[in-house]
Amino acid sequence: MNIQLLPDLAAMATLLTILCFLRRRHKQQDVELWITGMLFIFLEAIAHVFYESSGPRHVPAHVVALDSYLAAGIIFLWAASKTLFPRRAVLIYLAISALPLAMVQTFYALDARGSGPYLMTAACGLVLGVAAPFLAARSLRIGKAWWLVALQLAVWGSVWIFGSTAMYRDAAYIPLFVIYLAAAVLFQFSLPRGSLGKVAIVMGFAVWALVFLLHSWVSNHPQFIPVAAEVWDWQKFLVTIGMLLVMLERQVTSNEWLALHDQLTGLPNRRRFEERLAQSIRQSQINGTRTAVMMIDLNGFKAINDSQGHDTGDLLLQQIAQGLRHAVRSSDTLARLGGDEFIIVASDLPIDTPVSQVVKTCTARIDEALRKPFTVAGRKLTVSGSVGVAVFPDDAADEVLLRRLADQRMYEQKRGTASLVESPS
């Protein structure tokens, strides 16, 4: 038993505990796979503690260590590629490729020192590896799968060459090098740009791949073994810390988004609207254009909410928000103020068009979006909206006055609509 590795084992257990704790507090996509992969790495670290170059613990510890590395690598590949490729196709591809890879690792761990097992596995692996992309996605064309086929040819060609030349350690470690290098590349593309945790994860997997690549060379140059022993566990901590950083960064980003958006509809909230309105007015002052503020209050929503229930009301609000999104320009801001009130900031409107025409164009798009019936829980529901519009600089030069005027005009229209409904036909 290598007691010198116990402090590293304890440190890794602590980091994994923190990772699991954060996962329970802040549920995030793919973190379960990260934790599962790191648990296999922790299992390899335990096997490393009990590993000995000869004796009764040599073979079982070696089998557990190498197969744990492989299982962790496959899981990390799946986690890194889930946002880049179809989930089912990736899972099928990795499952088909994993079996022959596990056979190579197990043969080496069992001290199989004949070319036969490696050549047989290389042949099977090559056949399965070439077929895997097409079995995973039957519609995949060869033009899109050539790089996967080339990767399989490189892996199993290396296993064949090293197995036939009695370089069995390289036959086992080169596939691990490819897997961990591929994980580094995929995490580079799948994790958000500018993330410090991403840098740590990508660097950790790249170092990991380099460790596997140089393992045989270091074993043949004993003077470098102490240095390699120090690096061997370093990347594990780098990757784990990187995952912790990514989780914290995601939580911070989520909190920032929630602070500026309505949770039900995903639209900007009042705070975000006020920021956008101020920006639009400044932009209109610079460009010599107009900014319109459109206040919208739904007619008939309260009756639907009371009669059909709040769940139906929430679903209806989500559909209305989606319809209004399509009605405004990409440069405009649609926000929900709360309840059944929405507001729109339309920026950079032409200054040479009559203001009445600007108002008419803006309200027409909103009326058209609200006129369409919405299907909620199998029922068709319709609502209308009262709209008040105020235009900068024609109606007011101050954003507070602009909002107040739009709100006033909206309520005037709402009272007019109510009077029409109450009057006899």
Closest CA to 15 of 183, 251, 242, 230: 242
Going from the C-alpha of 354 to that of each of 18, 90, 394, the distances in angstroms are: 62, 57, 10
What does the pLDDT read at residue 417?
63
Going from the C-alpha of 85 to that of each of 88, 186, 227, 331, the distances in angstroms are: 9, 11, 38, 31
The conformation of residue 28, written as its DSSP 8-state character, comes to -
Let me know if 95 is exposed, middle or buried by CB neighbors in 10 A (0-12, 13-18, 19+). middle
What superfamily does domain 270-422 belong to in CATH? Reverse transcriptase/Diguanylate cyclase domain (3.30.70.270)
Domain ranges in the chain?
3-260, 270-422
Residuewise pLDDT in 10s, the chain (425 residues): 667 677 778 888 888 888 888 877 767 667 889 999 999 999 998 988 887 777 788 899 999 999 999 999 999 999 998 888 888 888 888 999 999 999 999 999 999 889 999 999 999 999 998 888 877 766 444 445 678 888 899 999 999 999 999 999 999 999 999 999 999 999 999 998 889 999 999 999 999 999 999 988 888 888 887 777 777 778 888 999 999 999 889 888 888 888 999 999 999 999 999 999 999 999 999 999 999 999 999 988 888 888 888 888 899 999 999 999 988 888 899 999 988 999 999 999 988 888 888 888 888 888 888 888 888 878 888 888 899 999 999 998 888 999 999 999 999 888 876 544 444 43
The tally of CA atoms less than 13 A away on the side-chain side of residue 317 is 25
| C-alpha triplet 114, 224, 200: angle, nearest 5° | 95
Cα separation, 91 vs 71, whole angstroms: 13
Q: pTM to 2 decimals?
A: 0.76
